[in-house]
Every structure is written in C-alpha cells, then in structure tokens.
Amino acid sequence: MTLLNFQTVDLAPAAQDFLGEVMKGLSQPVKTLAPKYFYDDHGMELFEKICELPEYYVTRTELSIMDELSSFALPASGQLAVIELGGASSFKFRRLQRSLADIGMYIPVDICRQALFHEAQKLARDCPELKVMALCADYQQLESFPWETYTAGFTPVVYFPGSTIGNLTPSEAKSLLKMLRRIVGPNGYVLLGCDLVKPLTTLIPAYDDAQGVTAEFNLNLLRRINRELGANFDLHQFRHEIRYNTDENKIEMHLVSLASQTVQLAGTTLQFAKGESIHTEDSRKFTRQAIEKLAAESGFCIDQWWTDSRDYFAITLLGSVTSANILSMRANQSADSSHPFLRRAEHSPTSSAARA
C-alpha cells in the first residue's frame, strides 16, 4: 500500500573511510579514535544497555523532562516542520509529539539508510495526518540541501536531542549551530539537548559503571578494528579509563595500554608505550551561561530552558536572532510576562523521576 504522506530522499552520503581515519588517529602524537565508530551492531547493543544502567542518568533524565512538558506552541506563521538530526529512530520524536503542538511535517536525517527509511515509513503509517520525509545524508550535505523546496509553508524546527552536542569540540559545535541557523532561517528554531555540569560523584560512575558495560563498549572499538580492518589488538592489554578535564568541563574516555606493545594494522606497525592511551571520546558538560554564549555566537538566543529538579540535563529552545524579533520579543515580554514561550523559566517543568 502506497503511503501518500511518506517520501524518501537519498543524497547517497559517501562511505566512511574507516581505515584511513583509524590510521590517521593512531599515527598522531596523542593517539585518537573517532567515537562515531563505536556503533557497529554490538556497539549499538552495548549502548542500549548503557542507557538502562542505574549510573547512566542522561537518557532517563532527558525523557523525564520530555514526559513532564505540558503542551506548548511556538509563534509560527504555519505548521512546524521538525528536522531531527540522527533520526534513524523516531522514539524521541514520538515523545515530542505529545508536547509540541501543530507539527505538520517530520524530516528525520541519518546516514543509516535502511533503519532510517524503515522507521520513517512506520511512523508515516502510524500518523497519517503527518507528512514524513526521510532524508539520508551526512551533516556536510545539509547546508546545500534545498530546504525551502521541501518545507515551503512550514516553520522549521531542528531537533537535536540527547547530549551529542557535547561530543563536539567547541569550534565544531559553533560551526554546527551556525549551519542550523542558516537552515532554519530568521523565523525558525532549534530544540537542543545538553548535559549539564554536575558533581564528579555522579559523572564518573555514569561513564565507568560497576558492571563494566561502558568499558566493554569502549574496548569493542578495538574489537571492531580487528574484525573489519584485520588488526591484532589484544583487548586484554588495554583498559578503559575515564578522566575529567576541569578546564573544559568534559569527560574523556581513554583506552590505556597495559604494556609496551606493538599492533599490526594494514601493513603498519603501531607502537604503544606502557601507560599510553588512545583518546576515544569527549563528553562536554554545559552551564546555562555556556549555552547562552554558544547560541549568541551562532545567531540564536534561548527562548525556553527546561531542566529536571537536580539540574542534571537541559532541553533548550533556541530562537533565531534578528533585530526585528528581538524588539518584538522584548515588547511581548513586557506585555505578557506569563506567556509560556516568552517566560525565562529556570526550572520548568521539574522532575524527580530521573535517577543518577
């Protein structure tokens, strides 16, 4: 049966150069591996387990905020077109539908073609009143995409849930938000998830759990390199280690060599000293002031700020900044400071359901 409310657009994103990126990262003075390569099939299974761990507060806290959001609407000239980055699963979007009024179009974006198209088609079947367009593309392809052609008559809202913004460097995060500002234009929005600064007694166990699931997740990256690229990493000779960088408010994940050793990869001998580490991921934690600064540098301002009762996580609505809408916003605030969109709520709504 043909679904009249469903279409796919495939920009055929280029295949990732796994070997090239691994060789480049492991040839640096400070060895690194890109965290995007965590997510083979086993890595996805492990990450799903991580999200269920008692120590890992991130997913539970974000969902608790979403569950307690009362219905809200955005000042818009028409229905909303929600563009979700990393939208191979519509799980969080379906939660968002309960709260955000007047969504007429949904555009999930992901490079995982099969999962993306399958999930989007299922959503279109479940929501016949919703126009669904699945876009297979990488982030580099988004800026040149003709958004106006597909979202004409809609107000664009980019949805970037989770805490992925924290995996980017400050310059990468700013570049991404600047690109999103160009995508949504002068009247659009970004709905952004961000993990907040909190005590190390909560942070460290979230990335170094008692069951060792996160350690296995980290080590699985070496297992994948062995399987797909023919390397000979001995996983027993590396251990998972978490470090907190206080200057940059970020968790760092490392794989530390337990001995002086060599590893063969694609005809190259890689040397590891005892105690030398491979830096595999950063997870930056934010304050509201840091998000305000990042937003301002990217052409946005904070219009809404929702947190849980412990200030562990925030969902923030960023509005495009123009001289006209700044003046309008100030006038409306003076006229009606109780309007739910204009109110600068510090803790609205609150939730005690999340566990650390």
Q: What Rg do the C-alpha atoms of the chain give, in angstroms?
A: 21
pLDDT given for residue 322 in this prediction? 72
Name residue 262's beta-bridge partners: 271
Query: Which DSSP symbol is given to 139?
Result: G
Cα 268 from Cα 23, distance rounded (Å): 9
The pair of structure tokens assigned to 222 is: 């070496």
How much is the average pLDDT of 15-37?
Answer: 95
Enter the DSSP assignment of 290. Answer: H
User: Which burial class, exposed, middle or buried, applies to 348 when counting CB atoms under 10 A from its CB (0-12, 13-18, 19+)?
Assistant: middle
Query: What phi and psi, each to the nearest 5 degrees, are found at residue 254?
Result: -135, 155
| Domains of the chain, start order | 10-56+200-284 (no CATH), 57-198+286-335 (3.40.50.150)
Q: What average pLDDT does this structure show over 87-105?
A: 93
Other beta carbons within 10 Å of 198: 16
**How much is the average pLDDT of 149-159?**
95
Neighbouring C-beta atoms of residue 324, cutoff 10 Å:
10
Q: Supply the pLDDT for residue 185.
A: 94
Statement: residue 73 has pLDDT above 90: no
E strand segments, 98-217: 103-110, 131-136, 155-160, 189-195
Of 31 and 75, which is predicted with more confidence?
31
Which DSSP category does 37 fall into?
G
Give the length of the chain.
356
Whether 353 has a pLDDT exceeding 70, the answer reads no
How many other CB atoms are there within 10 angstroms of residue 346's CB atom? 11
**CB neighbour list of residue 142: distance below 8 Å, 6 or more residues apart:** 109, 179, 183
pLDDT at 325: 53
Sign, Cα dihedral of 224, 37, 86, 340 = positive
Residue 328 has pLDDT above 70, yes or no: no
The predicted model gives 250-271 an average pLDDT of: 98
Give residue 330's pLDDT: 46
Kindly state the average pLDDT of the residues 64-70. Answer: 88
Mean pLDDT of 234-260: 98
pLDDT for 213-239, tens place per residue?
999 999 999 999 999 999 999 999 999
Q: How high is the pLDDT of residue 346? A: 35
- Given a cut of 70, whether residue 245 has pLDDT beyond it is yes
Q: Answer whether 225's CB lies under 8 Å from 315's CB.
A: no
In the beta sheet, which residues pair with residue 286? 196
In angstroms, the CA 108 to CA 117 distance is 9
H or E segment and range at residue 69: none
Distance set, CA 106 to CA 124, 158, 186, 191, 263 (Å): 9, 10, 20, 14, 46
Residues 287 and 285: their CA atoms lie apart, in Å, by: 7
Q: Decide: residue 71, CB within 10 A, 0-12 exposed, 13-18 middle, 19+ buried.
A: exposed
Q: What are the tens digits of pLDDT across the range 166-200?
A: 999 999 999 999 999 999 999 999 999 999 999 99
Q: Which residues contact 85 (CB under 8 A, 6 or more apart)?
A: 109, 139, 158, 159, 160, 164
Residue 81: predicted pLDDT: 97
Stretch among 41-55, 64-78, 160-174, 330-344 having the lowest mean pLDDT = 330-344
**Percentage of residues in the chain with pLDDT exceeding 70?**
90
- pLDDT of 77 strictly over 80: no
**Is residue 334's pLDDT more than 50?**
no
Strands 261-265 and 268-272: antiparallel
When pLDDT is averaged across residues 333-354 and rounded to a whole number, the result is 34
- The rounded distance, in Å, linking the Cα atoms of 105 and 59 is 25
> Is residue 55 within 8 Å of 47, Cβ to Cβ?
no
